[in-house]
Structures are given as structure tokens and as C-alpha cells.
Amino acid sequence: MSVDVLKKTVVDKLPSDLEGLEGTIERLQDMIDTISRYVDNVIVSPKEKMISPHILSALSNLKS
């Protein structure tokens, strides 16, 4: 087996810049969704009312 065959196989498996960016954006969106659900739950909880506006404000800035 030649080095060129191995090199081509490895290079074919690497994501392009656009594919890498797309994957990163999808993971970031998932994280933001997780935080949104957490904030929604915190807002409902009377024990956490002091911190929830700060989290909600920071999250709102991320989605803009």
C-alpha cells in the first residue's frame, strides 16, 4: 500500500472549513437551547428568582 493511498483516505475524512463551522454552529445552538430550558425552569422556581433575570438577559444577548 502506498503512502498516497493512505494520505488520500485520511484527507477525505477531514471536514471542510464549512462543514466544521456548520457542526460548531449546531453544537452552539444545542447549548443555547439547553440554557434556554434551564432559564425557563429557573424563572418558574421561586428560590432562584434573584439569578434568573441575569441569565435570561445574557441569553437574550446571545440570540440577537
When pLDDT is averaged across residues 27-48 and rounded to a whole number, the result is 79
pLDDT at 26: 94
DSSP result, 15-36: PPHHHHHHHHHHHHHHHHHHHH
- Kindly state whether residue 35 falls inside one of the protein's structural domains: yes
Residue 48 per-residue DSSP state: G
Domain assignment present for 30:
yes
> Between 17-44 and 52-63, two packed helices, what is the crossing angle to 10 degrees?
150
More confident residue, 6 or 42: 42
Give the domain extent around 41.
Answer: 22-64
What is the total count of domains within the chain?
Answer: 1
Can you read off the three cell numbers belonging to residue 44? 418558574
pTM above 0.85, yes or no: no
